[in-house]
Chain A
Amino acid sequence: MGSRQFMAILRKDLIRELRTREMLVSMFLFVMLALVIFHYAFGVDEDTDLTSFTGGMLWVTFIFSALLGLNRSFAQEKDEQCLDGLLLCPVDRVTIFFAKMTGNLVFLLIIQAVSVPVFTLFFIERSYLADIGLFILVLLLADLGICTIGTLLATISMNTRARDLLLPIVFLPLIVPVLIAATSATTGIFADGADLGDLAARLGFLAAFDAVFMVAAYGTYDFAIGE
């Protein structure tokens, strides 16, 4: 994998996004609106303990917001007819995958850095500062899974006419295992502190999931991005 080419694609995607803020603004607005809706939908009675739902609320919001970004990540290449320019370059297709995936990961992490404090303010009663490192690890591993599958599927769906429709249909069923593991680990952290044994199992599952799909992407991306 060419590191200069990897950096060139990543830099290009970051500059473009920071200049237009197309993806970031839509992802951010979606997350904030979802949190406000959750706040009013579940917080009717102030005594209701929402702790057991927090992990689910958070990850469902993140997954749908990631979908918005993933849909755009290749749409730009396609709409501006730059994909041919990219494919003309002497670059391993896998390098394109890892650069695009890293870009999507960065955007998702930016959204999370802004929205997690807001979410904590709205829904979390207990301080989880002691487990913040573990929470960040859950975020990273789950995000990696979301972006790995998402980037691969966004690549496949970009050449279809109904790409906006196709991506969620194929992405959501595949991401369910990540959702279950991340929700369970996050709820545990928010509720009563991390149970290390349980959390290690969830983290191990997320890491294995990421590894499997990265290998799958590595093996199939040449075909996925082809004609």
Chain B
Amino acid sequence: MDASGRDLSDAPLEIEVDGLRKTFGRREVLRGLSFSLERGGFLVMFGPNGAGKTTTLRVLATLLTAGRGSVRVAGHDVREDPMPVRRAVGLISHSPMLYLDLTAYENLRFYADMYGLEDREERITELLERLELSHRRYDVVRTFSKGMRQRLAIARAILHRPRVLLLDEPHSGLDPRAVDILDGLLAEIREEHTFVMVTHHIEKGLELATRLMIVDGGKIVWEHGAGVARETFNAVYREHVQEGSVL
């Protein structure tokens, strides 16, 4: 069940990860991760810094190659068939991935062309309005506040209407208005998308998730469906995550 009461048990799998391993040099960052997520699901990954959460997201987004194991997103293998995966995925991370010397419009136009959007102008106008950035449409991004850049980054990530949205600490660095806009937007597009979110924001994670996961040392140390109370989660986190790790 998701937050809105939808039953996802019969939904097809949108993300399938089986035995994922990833090594940087001699350091094994992911050590046999396996999980799956139904279409429309919302997976929230918690874990200490360096646990492998962001690496997992980057493999799902095809920004890193999977070492060993198999990873399928939107029905396509990320290693063998990355193009359809890239079309299906949007990524919001703490870095906005925007060109600071281009205007908001020029940035979105660039990404719209990269994704081959047919309704480029309408879509850009719609998103700028939705994210309350219409009045800064022709301003260079360098002059934007951090919150405004992050809002524009959200527009960049959902511009091509991705099926899967990967969120890497999306609330970090946002001003309260941008947090409201992001939460409103997530609620609005919730039903048509599948989400994987990495966060340290426990309340937000527990509120949004249909599936919870704690990753530590490159492994899943705890997995659960939605509906876990904050106190219970804290106890579970302390029990599973190695001493000295910080959430």
| Chain A positions near chain B (C-beta within 8 angstroms) | 2, 4-5, 7-9, 11-12, 15-16, 19-20, 76, 80-82, 84-91, 226-227
Q: Is B114 an interface residue (CB 8 A)?
A: yes
- 9 A-B Cβ contacts within 8 A? A5-B114, A15-B106, A80-B99, A80-B100, A81-B96, A84-B63, A85-B111, A90-B116, A227-B65
| A2 CA to B91 CA, complexed, in Å | 22
Shortest beta-carbon contacts, A-B, top 4: A85-B97, A8-B113, A89-B114, A81-B95
| A11 CA to B84 CA, complexed, in Å | 25
Q: Which residue of B lies closest to A79 (CB)?
A: B100
Let me know if A4 and B64 touch, CB within 8 A: no
Let me know if A5 and B65 touch, CB within 8 A: no
**A-chain residues with CB within 8 Å of residue B116 when the two chains form the complex:** 2, 4-5, 90
Q: Is B197 an interface residue (CB 8 A)?
A: no
Let me know if A84 and B64 touch, CB within 8 A: no
Query: Which of B89, B91, B101, B140 has most chain A Cβ within 10 Å?
Result: B101
| Chain B positions near chain A (C-beta within 8 angstroms) | 61-65, 83-84, 86-87, 89, 91, 93, 95-102, 106, 109-111, 113-116, 140, 156
Q: Which residue of B lies closest to A18 (CB)?
A: B101
Let me know if A80 and B98 touch, CB within 8 A: yes
Let me know if A85 and B156 touch, CB within 8 A: yes
Let me know if B115 and A15 touch, CB within 8 A: no
Let me know if A5 and B99 touch, CB within 8 A: no
| A2 CA to B86 CA, complexed, in Å | 15
| A158 CA to B140 CA, complexed, in Å | 25
Nearest Cβ on chain A to B173's Cβ, whole angstroms: 13
| A8 CA to B65 CA, complexed, in Å | 26
Nearest Cβ on chain B to A221's Cβ, whole angstroms: 15
Known: A4-B113, A84-B63. 18 other contacts (CB 8 A): A9-B110, A9-B114, A12-B99, A15-B106, A76-B99, A81-B95, A82-B97, A82-B98, A84-B91, A84-B93, A85-B97, A86-B114, A88-B61, A88-B62, A90-B83, A226-B65, A227-B63, A227-B65
**B-chain residues with CB within 8 Å of residue A2 when the two chains form the complex:** 116
| A96 CA to B113 CA, complexed, in Å | 13
**B-chain residues with CB within 8 Å of residue A87 when the two chains form the complex:** 62-63
| A86 CA to B98 CA, complexed, in Å | 10
| A4 CA to B114 CA, complexed, in Å | 7
**A-chain residues with CB within 8 Å of residue B84 when the two chains form the complex:** 90
Let me know if B61 and A7 touch, CB within 8 A: no
| A4 CA to B111 CA, complexed, in Å | 11
Nearest Cβ on chain B to A170's Cβ, whole angstroms: 22
| A80 CA to B110 CA, complexed, in Å | 15
**B-chain residues with CB within 8 Å of residue A84 when the two chains form the complex:** 63, 91, 93, 95, 97
Let me know if B102 and A12 touch, CB within 8 A: yes
**A-chain residues with CB within 8 Å of residue B101 when the two chains form the complex:** 16, 19-20
